[in-house]
Amino acid sequence: MKEINELVLPEDYKYTAEHEWVKKDGDTLQIGITDYAQDQLGDIVFVEFPEIGDSFDKDETFGTLESVKAVSDLFLPVGGEIVEINEALEDEPELLNSDPNGAWIVKIKPSDESEFDSLMSKEAYLNQLKG
């Protein structure tokens, strides 16, 4: 297990209490899991994706991650429509362990952009982890 000061958390991402990250990508948002989440889950062996075109509200479950330790729900940090899934994760879910900040899970078209602004900064997320 990593110590908090060993976690890699990009400054330009936003974070949630459920350990997802959100990154702006043009008019869409990329959603992934934090370095902390992948470290806690252990080896990720399967990703359950939503369908492209599905819409979800903020904090609604949109998929699951299966690891050698547990099955964990994925919560959408910002409401919106799924516009793309990271198909590379279908064959290589372990990319979430080796590159948690680069291996996004889904891209969404947000329904309310202000929800992005209400997410945690890196500093706020680290403070939550220190608890």
27 vs 99: CA distance, rounded Å: 23
Cα–Cα nearest to 118, from 6, 22, 42:
22
Under the banding of pLDDT at 50, 70 and 90, the label for residue 131 is confident
Interatomic CA distance for residues 65 and 121, integer angstroms: 24
In tens, the pLDDT along 78-130 reads 999 999 999 999 999 999 999 999 999 999 999 999 999 999 999 999 999 99
pLDDT per position as a tens digit, 34-71: 999 999 999 999 999 999 999 999 999 999 999 999 99
Question: What 8-state DSSP symbol labels residue 100?
Answer: T
Give the domain ranges of the chain. 10-110
Which of 103, 87, 31, 27 lies closest to 60 in space, CA to CA? 31
Q: Evaluate if pTM is beyond 0.85.
A: yes
Right CATH for 10-110 from 3.30.565.10, 2.40.50.100, 2.40.10.10, 2.40.10.120: 2.40.50.100
What φ, ψ does residue 21 adopt, rounded to 5°?
-115, 155
CB neighbour list of residue 87: distance below 8 Å, 6 or more residues apart: none
